[in-house]
Chains A and B, each alone.
Chain A
Amino acid sequence: MIQLSSEERAMHDGRDGPAAALALRIVAETARMLGAERLVPIVSAHIDGCLYHGDSGTLFAERLVAGEGAVRVPTTLNVGALDLLHPDRARLSPHRAAMARRMMDAYVELGCRPTWTCAPYQAGHRPAAGQHVAWGESNAVAFCNSVLGARSERYGDYLDICAALAARAPYVGLHRDENRRATVLVDCRGLDPRLLAEDAVYPVLGAWLGAAMGARIAAFDGLPAGLSDDRLKALGAAAASTGAVGLFHIIGTTPEAPDVATAFAGQPPQETVRLTGAMLRAARDGLSTARAAPGAAIDAIAIGSPHLSVDEFWRLLRLLDGRRSVLPFYACTGRHTVDRLEEFGLWDEIKAANITVVADTCIVVTPILPDGGGVLLTNSGKFAHYTRPNTGYDVVYGSLADVVETAVAGRLVRDESLWR
């Protein structure tokens, strides 16, 4: 049975209103299912449950509003099913659009920040190392644990908002020291430094990691120092798509891995994997579901899973160098980035390049891609993983440079030289 503190008991018994009591009951019952002995106070939350999957989620959020629910910790929101900045982007039926909108409104009414992004850590939400938090959305959880060193378990939809309302999470899994140490050493020292200098290798490293590790915790050794947040987010997002990865370490880069001994808490690795170029090439090939022959037909392009940062837009525009996409090209991002694009005067340049910016949502969670299906090109490991099941499109994975050259040419252009 879960041991509740006197504060938690008071909330459970209704002191803070019906929504707080309901939230605490759900957190406590989840804790019981997970075998926790107690709850842990949290300092921040990120909500994945605000994406519409059916009316039930809307009705639940509205129940919390009706019960005087209010988040007790700073809380950001993951994507919804609508682009509120460009309402015609998502082609939902009027009923679904209305219910998705009601759901999004309810979460804002509960006091969550309307960030609508899967990259909250690039929208100013960065809890400190060692802090307990409750984050939803698998890539956000992986980044939060691995790169920020804050502590969140991988929670299901609706537990996230309950944790935010109760300011408590089950004290299990990645909240606990003993579950955070690495057990598998991934030795990257044999990889070609030219490959490791490319952005396109990081989603592939992640896809390999998720498929190879499942939920085991790995530490990479031999990756370049000072990896950018964009590379780390791409790695984590792909890993959390192909496997249940909630935490990884990079020796010399991530906060809990200053050196091998610390990452492994002084114990020897249970397993060491020497990563080779051939293994990465196989992982890269695994990200494509369609044959990637030169000149192959491509029907659409999507980038931005996780949501693009301003830096990623800069790189895109630099590679485009004034040229225009002749293919439907979707760039998914959050409004925190849209604001900066406007501030920096990049908006016109993006429009002139025939790029459709999707804000607040993305192409694998709501119908945005043109009907009829076909083949989608992406540089995102996460899009590569979810596009076929969620949209019916086949996928080819490529680098951002491949994306740009293909967009301009209208047929697949992929530079294979790196991967040989």
Chain B
Amino acid sequence: MNRHVIAFPVARAEVVQPGAAEGRVLKLPTLSFWGGVDPSTGRLTDPAAAGHGESTAGRVLLVAEPRGSSSSSAVMLELLRVGQAPAAVILGRIDAILGLGIVVAREMGWPTIPLYQLPVEAHEKIPDGSDVRIGADGSIRVL
């Protein structure tokens, strides 16, 4: 990601858990971390779901409609502990369950990632597979 194009932000997301991030976008219509992401590797495990087999580790995960399985916080916490978490997560609507995994990781002294909320209408401005930089203010630039 050494291109030096400093584009205008294509969108500004609401910051739910703080931080800045950079990474390649992985766009999914829906995702439940529990039953959907392997907590030790970050791979997408559901054969019936989009992106099966891809890894979420280090990606900027853009999820239109999160499915709030209550154990998704546990999966997020484990991903953070083992260093296989996404670089950032952007959700179409607020999901406090994923945020909770991040909050607990912070209390445990483990590395955390930022969590943002961005209305789903704005997701089309962020192409799947593009490299993006997200500022601590939630501004999203496509590099």
Name A's B-contacting residues (CB within 8 A): 22, 25-26, 29-30, 33-35, 48-49, 51, 53-57, 59-60, 63, 136-138, 154-159, 244, 386, 388-390
Contact = CB atoms under 8 A, between A and B. Distances in A.
A156 B107 contact: no
Given A158-B73, A244-B68, A386 B35 contact: yes
Contacts of A34: 94, 96
B67 interface: yes
A368 B67 CA distance: 26
B100 A156 contact: yes
A136 B99 contact: no
B74 A154 contact: no
B108 to A, nearest CB: 6
Interface stretch (B4-12, B54-62, B76-84, B128-136): B76-84
A244 B93 CA distance: 14
A246 B103 CA distance: 24
B81 A55 contact: yes
Report which residue of A49, A54, A56, A155 has the largest number of chain B beta carbons within 10 angstroms of its beta carbon. A56
Nearest to B115: A33
Contact of A53 (B45, B71, B80): B71
Contacts of B45: 389
A56 B70 contact: no
Contact of B70 (A138, A386, A388): A138
A57 B110 CA distance: 13
Nearest to A154: B70
Interface string B91-131: 00010111111011101101000000000000000000000
30 contacts: A26-B103, A26-B107, A33-B17, A33-B96, A35-B94, A49-B74, A53-B75, A53-B78, A55-B81, A56-B80, A56-B81, A56-B82, A56-B108, A60-B104, A63-B107, A138-B70, A154-B68, A156-B97, A156-B100, A156-B101, A157-B72, A157-B73, A157-B74, A157-B100, A158-B73, A158-B77, A158-B100, A158-B101, A389-B45, A389-B46
- B35, B48, B67 — which one has the most chain A CB atoms within 10 A of its CB? B35
Given A53-B71, A56-B74, A56-B108, 15 more contacts: A33-B17, A48-B70, A49-B74, A51-B74, A53-B34, A53-B75, A53-B78, A54-B82, A56-B80, A136-B70, A154-B68, A156-B71, A156-B73, A156-B101, A244-B68
Contacts of A136: 70
Contacts of A157: 70-74, 100
A244 B17 CA distance: 23
B61 to A, nearest CB: 17
Contacts of B104: 26, 60, 158
A208 B3 CA distance: 50
B100 A244 contact: no
Given A48-B71, A155-B70, A158-B104, A56 B77 contact: yes
A25 B99 CA distance: 14
B93 to A, nearest CB: 11
B100 A30 contact: yes
A138 B35 CA distance: 14
Closest 7 CB pairs of A and B: A54-B78, A156-B97, A156-B73, A56-B81, A157-B74, A53-B74, A33-B96
A57 B74 contact: yes
A390 B100 contact: no
B72 to A, nearest CB: 7
A385 to B, nearest CB: 10
